[in-house]
Structure 1
Amino acid sequence: AGSRSIIDVLLMKQLTFDAAGKMTMSEIEDQFKERADELHNELIENIAENDEELMNLYFEKGNLTEDEMRHGLHDAMLKRQLYPIFLTSATENIGVSRLMGFIDNVLPKPTEMPPAATSSGEPVVCDASGSTVAFVYRIMSEPHVGDYSFFRVYSGTMRSGDDLQNASTDVTERLGQLFSINGHERDTVEFMEAGDIGALVKLKNTHTNNTLRAKGSDVVIAPIEFPEPRYSGAVAPGKEGDEDKLAQGLHQLAEEDPSLRITHDAVLHQLVLGGQGEMHLDIARYRLKNRFGVGVEFRKPKVAYRETVQARARAKYRHKKQTGGAGQFAEISMLVEPLDGEFKPPADIKVRKVHDATTSWGAKVQFIDSIVGGVIDMRRFFGAIQKGVMEIMKKGPVAGYPVGDIRCVVFDGGMHSVDSNENAFKSAARMAFRDGFRDAKPALLEPIFDVEILVPAEYTGDVMGDLNTRRGRIQGIDGEGVFQKVIAQVPESELYRYSTMLRSITHGRGLHRSSFSHYEPMPRNVQEKVTEESGELEEA
């Protein structure tokens, strides 16, 4: 068969398309006939098993006519029991006319479909005489025109000049000209009614997944659930000074394609773009370059490691500085330990006051005032001590990563009636914490992700073997339809480009999703490598 041919197992014909897209039918070539018969019979069985009447006909005759199959497909699709798959190439004009013919002749009409699901209000029946409800399913920007809002009318009739309420923002939108879109061509229409798909321009505050409805309605169409990113890359402009252009371009791309996810990590100082795979991000790169004129570079994202301690340690630091006139003096004795459970004070420490704080990166810190005898005026300097510790926690003593959950106990110290001030105690707190941290068995924590991988059974062993090389821990294997679901926990650092590797292992038939689970200490050899790399970055 030529490269412009498709075998249609519903019609049981070989379809060949010329450069203009014109279709010619012929008999299926002998080399494909056996496989086509298998798929045709499988299709008949799938259609028949969803319809008792057709099942009886199938048992009686051993086959179904083309009309009977069309009728069965129509009803099965109406009940969402079968989903036909077509091979097409829009750029080569192959299979397009066959797909359009099937849509016209077989697919259920909007008025035949069951009421549309809603997240608020009653399900919506497709009725042109009902209250107007429309759903915006895509935003697309076009130069010299602006943003197109593509919508489907679920109920009622829309006309230019109508006022509709955005259910998400409560903003009232006045509809401009309505367009019927055909490729790059757009035709002005007077109205659109239930079942129609069209486009609007210059809506003020309407986005993908928004419902437009008549005033007084409580209906909200159930939103599209976009997939979580499966591949991420740290993105930076190709040349200095393009940061604003990059930000504007990324914002527009994410508006048009909500499956692109932009994350700005202020702690790691990186901008991360997430998508469905390496090709998805390559397309985003192409569009940024050609639409917004900004070249970008993708790099491996930094991992949000944390530093913590695994034991209890004490440290003492005296900050003394004399530069003529008033000097600086502060002395602090501090106990540092992991924040796991309630504090169990040693015999020589008594708890007077406890203050819990949360850092900007989500870590918890517990400060305990155990000063007795007034050796430090904690009403004046407890706040400064906390600030000093919080400042050094931003960049931990081991490898420069933020410090995780920890407890600091100030149990002794000293001050000077003239030279002690907030800056002196901030400095003393930083140094006492640093010394105590280093003596309390410091460790690097790494983020662990829950990972679920769906693969055909024949690739399960290869996928599990690959997970073992990534320090993954297999939690279990479940069946999910015709797939095997491998459940594992894997360090985030080992998941970079995993979607690309999974596609290679499974020949494009595997999918995965991941979500953050917890932090845990990393192996000593991995910690040494991360610490070394961190030191090299500092020197650079």
Structure 2
Amino acid sequence: MKVYQSNEIKNIALIGNAGSGKTTLAEAMLFEGGVITRRGNVEDNNTVSDYNPVEHEYKNSVFSTVLYTEWLGKKINFIDTPGADDFSGGVISALNVVDTGLMLINAQNGIEVGTEIIGRRAAELNKPLIFVVNQLDHDKANFEQCIESAKTNFGSKVSIVQYPVNVGVNFNAVVDVLKMKMYQWGADGGEPEILDIPDSEIDKANEFHNELVESAAENDEALMELYFDKGTLTEDEMREGMKKGMIACDFFPVFCVSAKKDMGVRRLMEFIGNIVPNVTEMPAIPTISGREAKCDPNAPTSVFVFKTSIEPHIGEVSYFKVISGKIKEGDDLTNINNSIKERVSQLYVIAGRNRERVSELVAGDIGATVKLKNTKNNHTLNCKDCDFVYKDIKFPAPKYRTAVKAHDDSDDEKLGELLHRMHEEDPTILIEYSKELKQIILHGQGEFHMNTLKWRLSHNDHIEIDFLTPKIPYRETITKLAQGDYRHKKQSGGSGQFGEVHMIIEPYTEGMPDPVMYKLEGKDMKVNLRGTDVTELSWGGKLVFCNCIVGGAIDTRFLPAIQKGIMEKMDEGPLTGSYARDIRVVVYDGKMHAVDSNEISFRLAGRHAFSAAFKNAGPKILEPMYNIEILVPEDRMGDVMSDLQTRRAMIMGMEVEKGFQKILAKVPLKEMNKYSTTLSSLTRGRAQFTMKFDTYEKVPNEVQSELLAAYQEETAEV
């Protein structure tokens, strides 16, 4: 394969809702570019991109797949991405390294919730979009509805370049209003017959052509002046305007295809080759330091790793984009993230599981290498004297959590290694080894996401696992002031143990005044603050420890031991064994012995005094609350709202967003177990949601009673 120069490289991502036909289009593009000689199909498990066993099992893309094809002397790198929101990590990593998104639209459904969400992600990254209306040969296809919903969601930037002549099972022709020709295909698709537009379509074609001319002219003042002078633009002038509009994300062209029949694919690839911006025409990539890394093959070499996969018989494959300079086989580069040197022993261009070895890749190109020692996703490899560092790809927060346990305890260590590997391949899989909950918690994007992981462990790695209901990381606190004291005394021959501690505990809030006066048992008691130690707790909240000892009742050298004893009980709260937080402790009195007092004595005295006070201080369990944002079609609003009411949700607001209803709510984590599955069932897969931790709040009394009873039963069994 020849070495393509930067101005000959186009990078695109195939994106869209599940079922829109991305993998089928990818197959047609590979076939038309000569990379493969025969088109596969998803049903027969022989496509180039969906080559993993789990993708064959589910007939869906699970991973993003890097591909390339060649057309009109250009190299088109493209990434086939999953459509299911459970695998959105592949979409996000792809959009971060390509320059343009090909947004496929299922002609039966128009803009779906998944389409809108992916479009929002593309907009956040300032990526131009091309809309490709696919499956126009389906008997329920509706092109007009697709365009209407696209303009509702994406605005007037949506501009028709092609429209179908005969939508439905007999689909075989489109009118191209840029070329002002009709393209017609035989039963096998492929190369079209290019015809004059028939009289029955000429008025409609002229109307869309004039709209396209205006859209192209709007993106350049000089073109606008030409348009006013001449009343039209040439095809080359329109191309120039469309390219500028795409770079500015102000022009979204619409194309028509039947990917399964290979109709319209060549013309789409021609547009990509002629008009879609190449890598040198897109904005430079900003570095963390604020400098820009220009796509210049003569600049210092810098590459960014955006994807990792584990391939049988090969091992770890690292996929990267050359941000600047050139990379050659045998180059020694430095991983700027960990200062480790890496040798690039082999370079490949990728078409699914097929790899073609190349000697060099230049700025803007996408490739892969193998067996790097310590380079992972989001790492940067630079040549000597280059210090570029790029922002990490930002992945969505988890929406689903489950506990996991190996069937066989002897597999625990291997399971940990495999989960870590899966996280490297899919950063949206997060593994939490929770000492607090005594569980391994998996966080992901949905139940389908986790079931896919389970399938892979079972079928690929021969480890059987169980999913368990994950425990909730509750917190404990107090709601009122209480006093506690304890004397620890032990004598067993020789030196003994003695320590006595008197303390007051009270709820802590930010900005509360220093302790001065308390009322205990109806009597006022003044305290003299001598020192304060504030501990930021690793699990959230604070412990504020106040030394109010007077007259040397307790030597200051024993105060750290008292505080340590308190922390031991904070680490395992008296109510449910959960972490305690947001408490101020005032140690105001005590006793010690000249011989028998030591650190262990005061640690135990502090621990027991705190525990006694805690139980009398109106103890309360706190639960984690999450903000959720649900995007749902209007006809499913009632079902979703009714379900939220059963989950103790507080509705914070409702908005209309691009044809969908957006519900904003605050919900306890306890009530969100398997919510993604429920929401999908309620809306037939047409709704999406995100969730993010907000705060801890007190549980209702009835919930607290249930939790206390459950904890007592659990500890009794132990």
Shorter-chain TM-score: which interval?
Answer: 0.7 to 0.9
In structure 2, relative to structure 1, the CA distance for the partners of 1:93 and 1:159 (3 Å cut) is farther
Asked if 1:12 is matched to 2:181, the reply is no
| SS of alignment partner, residue 502 of structure 2 | strand
The 8 Å contact of residues 370 and 411 in structure 1, kept in 2 or not, is answered as yes
In structure 2, relative to structure 1, the CA distance for the partners of 1:242 and 1:344 (3 Å cut) is farther
Alignment of 1:121-520 (within 5 A): 122-340=291-509, 341-342=512-513, 343-346=515-518, 347-351=524-528, 352-375=530-553, 377-520=554-697
In 2, the alpha carbon distance for the partners of 1:300 and 1:214 equals 48
The 8 Å contact of residues 48 and 72 in structure 1, kept in 2 or not, is answered as no
How far the C-alpha of 1:306 sits from its partner, in A, is: 1.0
How far the C-alpha of 1:382 sits from its partner, in A, is: 1.9
In 2, the alpha carbon distance for the partners of 1:4 and 1:467 equals 38
How far the C-alpha of 1:438 sits from its partner, in A, is: 0.9
Once the two structures are superposed, residues 294-330 of structure 1 have per-residue CA deviations (whole angstroms, 9 ceiling, x without a partner) of 3222223221111111111122333333444444333
Q: Which residue identity lines up with residue 400 of structure 2 in the other structure?
A: Y
Q: Which residue identity lines up with residue 468 of structure 2 in the other structure?
A: R
The 8 Å contact of residues 349 and 411 in structure 1, kept in 2 or not, is answered as no
Once the two structures are superposed, residues 472-520 of structure 1 have per-residue CA deviations (whole angstroms, 9 ceiling, x without a partner) of 2222234444444332222221222222223333333333222222222
In 2, the alpha carbon distance for the partners of 1:277 and 1:96 equals 35
The 8 Å contact of residues 537 and 581 in structure 2, kept in 1 or not, is answered as no
1:532 maps to what in 2? Answer: 709
In 2, the alpha carbon distance for the partners of 1:122 and 1:165 equals 19
How far the C-alpha of 1:93 sits from its partner, in A, is: 9.5
Structure with bigger RCO (C-alpha 8 Å, 6+ apart): 2
| SS of alignment partner, residue 470 of structure 1 | coil
Q: Which residue identity lines up with residue 354 of structure 1 in the other structure?
A: T
The 8 Å contact of residues 336 and 382 in structure 2, kept in 1 or not, is answered as yes
Q: Which residue identity lines up with residue 612 of structure 2 in the other structure?
A: D
Once the two structures are superposed, residues 335-375 of structure 1 have per-residue CA deviations (whole angstroms, 9 ceiling, x without a partner) of 22111222343242422333333444334222223333444
How far the C-alpha of 1:76 sits from its partner, in A, is: 4.8
How far the C-alpha of 1:262 sits from its partner, in A, is: 2.1
Percent identical pairs in the alignment equals: 42
In 2, the alpha carbon distance for the partners of 1:241 and 1:329 equals 46
In 1, the alpha carbon distance for the partners of 2:269 and 2:450 equals 30
Q: Which residue identity lines up with residue 356 of structure 2 in the other structure?
A: D
Q: Which residue identity lines up with residue 270 of structure 1 in the other structure?
A: Q
In 1, the alpha carbon distance for the partners of 2:253 and 2:648 equals 40
The 8 Å contact of residues 149 and 203 in structure 1, kept in 2 or not, is answered as yes
More deviation, 457-466/189-198 = 457-466
How far the C-alpha of 1:261 sits from its partner, in A, is: 1.9
In structure 2, relative to structure 1, the CA distance for the partners of 1:223 and 1:354 (3 Å cut) is closer
In 2, the alpha carbon distance for the partners of 1:402 and 1:204 equals 39
Q: Which residue identity lines up with residue 592 of structure 2 in the other structure?
A: M
In structure 2, relative to structure 1, the CA distance for the partners of 1:357 and 1:114 (3 Å cut) is closer
1:34 maps to what in 2? Answer: none
More deviation, 288-297/443-452 = 288-297
Once the two structures are superposed, residues 171-216 of structure 1 have per-residue CA deviations (whole angstroms, 9 ceiling, x without a partner) of 4433211112222221111212233221111223322223333333
In 2, the alpha carbon distance for the partners of 1:432 and 1:216 equals 61
Once the two structures are superposed, residues 17-66 of structure 1 have per-residue CA deviations (whole angstroms, 9 ceiling, x without a partner) of xxxx976999xxxxxxxxxxx9xx9999799646549999999xxxx999
More deviation, 118-127/383-392 = 118-127
1:31 maps to what in 2? Answer: none
In 2, the alpha carbon distance for the partners of 1:478 and 1:68 equals 41
In 2, the alpha carbon distance for the partners of 1:74 and 1:204 equals 41
In 1, the alpha carbon distance for the partners of 2:599 and 2:708 equals 33
The 8 Å contact of residues 47 and 76 in structure 1, kept in 2 or not, is answered as no
Once the two structures are superposed, residues 136-179 of structure 1 have per-residue CA deviations (whole angstroms, 9 ceiling, x without a partner) of 22111223322111122233332112233434334443321111
The 8 Å contact of residues 475 and 487 in structure 1, kept in 2 or not, is answered as yes
How big is the alpha-carbon RMSD for the aligned residues of Structure 1 and Structure 2?
4.3
The 8 Å contact of residues 121 and 218 in structure 1, kept in 2 or not, is answered as no
How far the C-alpha of 1:121 sits from its partner, in A, is: 5.6
In 2, the alpha carbon distance for the partners of 1:73 and 1:238 equals 58
In structure 2, relative to structure 1, the CA distance for the partners of 1:73 and 1:467 (3 Å cut) is farther
The 8 Å contact of residues 47 and 73 in structure 1, kept in 2 or not, is answered as no
| SS of alignment partner, residue 181 of structure 1 | strand
| SS of alignment partner, residue 693 of structure 2 | strand
In 2, the alpha carbon distance for the partners of 1:413 and 1:209 equals 56
In 2, the alpha carbon distance for the partners of 1:96 and 1:198 equals 28
In 2, the alpha carbon distance for the partners of 1:95 and 1:433 equals 76
In 1, the alpha carbon distance for the partners of 2:406 and 2:353 equals 31
TM-score under structure 1 length normalisation = 0.82
| SS of alignment partner, residue 208 of structure 1 | coil
2:25 maps to what in 1? Answer: none
2:59 maps to what in 1? Answer: none
| SS of alignment partner, residue 242 of structure 1 | helix
| SS of alignment partner, residue 348 of structure 1 | strand
The 8 Å contact of residues 164 and 256 in structure 2, kept in 1 or not, is answered as no
How far the C-alpha of 1:245 sits from its partner, in A, is: 0.9
In 1, the alpha carbon distance for the partners of 2:208 and 2:635 equals 22
In 2, the alpha carbon distance for the partners of 1:162 and 1:82 equals 40
How far the C-alpha of 1:524 sits from its partner, in A, is: 0.3
Q: Which residue identity lines up with residue 469 of structure 2 in the other structure?
A: K
In structure 2, relative to structure 1, the CA distance for the partners of 1:167 and 1:460 (3 Å cut) is farther
Q: Which residue identity lines up with residue 534 of structure 2 in the other structure?
A: D
| SS of alignment partner, residue 292 of structure 1 | coil
| SS of alignment partner, residue 215 of structure 1 | coil
In structure 2, relative to structure 1, the CA distance for the partners of 1:125 and 1:425 (3 Å cut) is closer
Alignment of 1:16-31 (within 5 A): none
Q: Which residue identity lines up with residue 716 of structure 2 in the other structure?
A: E
How far the C-alpha of 1:447 sits from its partner, in A, is: 1.6
Asked if 1:523 is matched to 2:700, the reply is yes
Q: Which residue identity lines up with residue 191 of structure 1 in the other structure?
A: E
In 2, the alpha carbon distance for the partners of 1:66 and 1:502 equals 48
In 2, the alpha carbon distance for the partners of 1:43 and 1:248 equals 58
In structure 2, relative to structure 1, the CA distance for the partners of 1:77 and 1:204 (3 Å cut) is same
Once the two structures are superposed, residues 261-319 of structure 1 have per-residue CA deviations (whole angstroms, 9 ceiling, x without a partner) of 22232222222222221111222222233343332222232211111111111223333
How far the C-alpha of 1:332 sits from its partner, in A, is: 2.7
In 2, the alpha carbon distance for the partners of 1:294 and 1:97 equals 43
| SS of alignment partner, residue 384 of structure 1 | helix
In structure 2, relative to structure 1, the CA distance for the partners of 1:237 and 1:384 (3 Å cut) is same
Q: Which residue identity lines up with residue 164 of structure 2 in the other structure?
A: M
